Amino acid sequence: MKKLKLKGNVRDAALSILWAVENQQAYSNLLLNDTISNYGLADKDKGLLTEITYGTLQHRMTLDFYLDPYIKKKLEPWVRTLLRLSLYQMVYLDRVPERAAIHEAVEIAKKRGHGGIGSVVNGILRSIQRNGLRSLDEINDPTLRLSIETSHPEWLIRRWIGQYGFDKTKEMAIENNLVPRQTVRVNLAATTTEDAIRALEAEGLSAERSPRIPECLFVSGGQPAKTAAFKSGLITIQDESSMLPVYALQPEPGMTVLDMCAAPGGKATHIAEKMQNTGKLYAMDLHPHKVKLIDEAAARLGHTIIKTEAGDARSSGERFDGIQFDRILLDAPCSGLGVIKRKPDIKYTKSETDFQRLQGVQLDLLNEAVYLLKPQGILVYSTCTVDQEENNGTVARFLETHPNMELIPAALPGSLRADSPVQIFPQDFGGDGFFVAAFQKRER
């Protein structure tokens, strides 16, 4: 593929992002803003770029199923990517005429390649337009059909069926392909929920309360991160499920608290709000550039008790030797299978070997946390994944080696069940998939 960019062309911009995701292990969410700027896209095209990019990623395996019978010769990989994003528009976007999608694909193929590639692309897409899509009913195996139909790797679908059954797996896989809801957390240290709603509505957005979490709002009609309410620290961007671990932690004003893997700072700032900005709150992260994000978030929200530290939390015992914490949050590095709706690339990059490796890291972090926790102190372990081996398996192994730790009910808000551990699925209320386990340290 020639390296030229077709400035102002939204479909060529989508091709660049998808190509980088598939071949350079880039993250689509991080590339979007840079690409919008580099291509000089008009405001009206930004939404279409996001829709084409995420939609093509979400439905990649289904699109390949439709394309395969029409591809008779070996194609350069970027041409297949171009065919996928073009077919995505033809199949899933009612407002894009098929002739427009095909015309744009042929022009990009000619300019990024040559006239011969343009003819091949034209021939394949027009054949599909003429003959229609093949039926998914051709696939007899229900597990393989669900894999192709929802575009999740077959090994992952089989694993989830083994853990949760076919119906729950199907619900989750379908939910993962929906557009995620925009949610924000109101900074209750700076304003009230009512005033935050009024501030957002004054800027032309719509906001309504979550029925589960008092400080969570559902927002539509604009980008909350672009509002004055965000810039002045009245709100922060956070998924509803991601607010639950801090409830389970039960932080209070004046406590000494550690957030072990804190970047980009969503939960650390939530803890500071629950502590009414009094006490001591340490926020660690492995990468210095990510620690900077925590500092920026704390400054914007006006939280002065957060002290950030760059370093490996597996060595936090050395760093905080002599300090005993009332509360410790471990929002652990994980496979991220609960956030596929926001990051569809995840489902194609993970493998079964990841789970055991991640569990080892998580146990090392939990072992370190026990050393630093006061008697009667609370430790919360959370992940944004839905894998039983990774989540429940880690809890079981942790309890086996730490008889001084016991599971306690997670103090979740509203109608949410106060079990421990708690597994939230993406389809439960439309948020991210999340896992929360709360432990308390017994007296010596």
Binding-site residue ranges for S-adenosyl-L-methionine: 261-267, 285, 312, 331
- CB 267, CB 185: distance < 8 Å: no
Question: What tokens does 377 get?
Answer: 């102190």
Residues 346 and 337: their CA atoms lie apart, in Å, by: 7
Coil/strand/helix, residue 318:
helix
Residues 99 and 103: their CA atoms lie apart, in Å, by: 6
Annotated active-site residue in 15, 268, 384, 422: 384
Q: Return the bridge partners of 405, or none.
A: 441
Question: What tokens does 411 get?
Answer: 């103090």
CA 395 → CA 162, 273, 352, 383, 399, distances in Å? 19, 28, 19, 12, 6
Residues 135 and 65: their CA atoms lie apart, in Å, by: 9
384 is a catalytic site residue: yes
Residue list for the binding site: 261-267, 285, 312, 331
- CA 100 from chain centre, in angstroms, equals 32
Contacts of 9 (CB under 8 A, 6+ apart): 39, 104, 108
- Give the E-state strand segments of 300-362 in sequence order: 306-310, 325-331
Backbone angles phi, psi at 4, to 5 degrees: -65, 150
DSSP string computed for 410-433: ----TTS---SSEEE-HHHHSS--
Residues 378 and 271: their CA atoms lie apart, in Å, by: 14
- CA 290 from chain centre, in angstroms, equals 17
CB atoms within 10 A of CB 159: 18
Nearest to 189, CA basis, from 273, 118, 120: 273
- CB 101, CB 48: distance < 8 Å: no
Nearest to 395, CA basis, from 332, 347, 315: 332
Catalytic residue positions, numbered: 384
